[in-house]
Structure 1
Amino acid sequence: MTRWSIIAVMLAGTAAVAFGGVATVPVRLIWNSSASVPLGLYTITPVERLTLSDLVAVRAPEPIERFMVARGSIAAGVPLLKHVRALPGQTVCRADSIITVDGAQMGAAFARDRHGRELWNWQGCRKLAEGEVFLMNAASDSFDSRYFGSLPLRSVIGRAIPLWTDEDGDGRFRWRASVH
């Protein structure tokens, strides 16, 4: 080994030790192919406190994931992207097909999916407890809390931030579009 090779290795080692703690957060990327939020690439960032309308990546609890995989909606292990619509202390209701949060209508649920298959149907009102979150997208055919109810907060992986998405569904992808 030459003197310059030894110096280069020593400098690289020193830099690795000095700057090793700077880049400890792994980049988490998700490609969304579901039309319930804009198609495209999202980065997932840690979230300490959720707020209403946050777009989050969620690991579906096993019964929900099994249901979606059996219908061909998602592959096993693929996170869902959903908007936060209610947090602990808020009251969510489903009366027939109408979904409300604290009395404000948020949308409706279908009895069947586009293939004519029955969808889950919960009815009634309940106040979300600590550790629960109600997730619902604006897309009327999104499979979300309007069908499966609230989820445990621990299901949330992180906040989803659009990197390169097709916001208008026209095939024109935009860099860092706003979350709506």
Structure 2
Amino acid sequence: MNKAAKYWLLSISIFTAAVSLAYFIGIRINTSKSFPPGVYIVSKADTYKRNDLVLFCPPNKAVIQDAIERGYIDIGRCESGTVPIIKRIVGLTGDYVNFTPTVKINNSELQGSIRLKVDGENRALPQLAPFTVSNNSFFAYSDHAPRNSFDSRYFGDVPMENIIGTIRPLVLFPL
């Protein structure tokens, strides 16, 4: 093996080790539009509460499979077949969720929370009936880009066990 090949092999090995270490310590890169693109860090918590920004796996439901096919969520390692996604916890076990067409949780309206009937390509979006958030579950919402986010307005509540951790930005990329 010549000197240049050894250099590239060493460079690739160091890069791979650095990326693996970053992932292991909780560094994630967000490229979705639901929250600003950038580098984020994930931290485990004993409990998760209202207003926490969390990284989680969407529930394994038919509506999520449709979201993959339509390109709303990328393919990934979650049980649902998607990448983990970032949303804010806005509803918890026992909270009543109603759609009027804005989202109301316990009769308190979420700002900018209009639930669309069709997507940008005029395809029907799921229209859930009012419901109470299930035991050990949460209602996920994007307050950064509420108009375009595919969140609990369309797929319902999410089991708490699907949470990977709270997430916060380290470096945001300019748009």
**Does TM-score exceed 0.5, indicating one fold?**
yes
Letter in 1 for 2:71: G
Deviations 1:32-61 (A, max 9, x none): 111111111111110211121111011112
Q: 1: CA distance between counterparts of 2:132 and 2:92?
A: 9
SS in 2 for 1:108: coil
Q: TM-score, normalised by structure 1?
A: 0.72
Report deviation, 1:110: 0.4
Q: 2: CA distance between counterparts of 1:161 and 1:132?
A: 21
Question: Between Structure 1 and Structure 2, which shows a larger proportion of strand residues?
Answer: 1
Aligned position for 2:132? 127
Name which one, 1 or 2, has greater alpha-carbon Rg: 1
Q: 2: CA distance between counterparts of 1:40 and 1:134?
A: 24
Q: 2: CA distance between counterparts of 1:69 and 1:57?
A: 18
User: How large is the RMSD of aligned CA atoms in angstroms?
Assistant: 2.0
Q: 2: CA distance between counterparts of 1:66 and 1:127?
A: 23
Aligned position for 1:21? none
Q: Does 1:93 align with 2:98?
A: yes
SS in 1 for 2:169: strand
Q: Is the Cα–Cα contact under 8 Å of residues 65 and 76 in structure 1 kept in the other structure?
A: no
Report deviation, 1:75: 2.3
Deviations 1:122-145 (A, max 9, x none): 022x33232110011122210001
Structure 2 gap ranges (5+): 1-22, 77-82
Q: 2: CA distance between counterparts of 1:52 and 1:32?
A: 22
Structure 1 gap ranges (5+): 1-24, 172-180
Query: How many percent of aligned residue pairs carry the same amino acid?
Result: 27
Which residue of 158, 165, 171 maps to 2:172? 165
Aligned position for 1:116? 122
Q: TM-score, normalised by structure 2?
A: 0.74
Report deviation, 1:29: 2.3
Aligned position for 2:58? 60
Deviations 1:53-106 (A, max 9, x none): 1110111122344222211223222111000001113221123x2210110111
**What pairs up with 1:1-180 in 2 under 5 angstroms?**
26-63=24-61, 64-77=63-76, 78-95=83-100, 97-106=101-110, 107-124=113-130, 126-138=131-143, 139=145, 140-166=147-173, 170-171=174-175
SS in 2 for 1:60: coil
Aligned position for 2:6? none
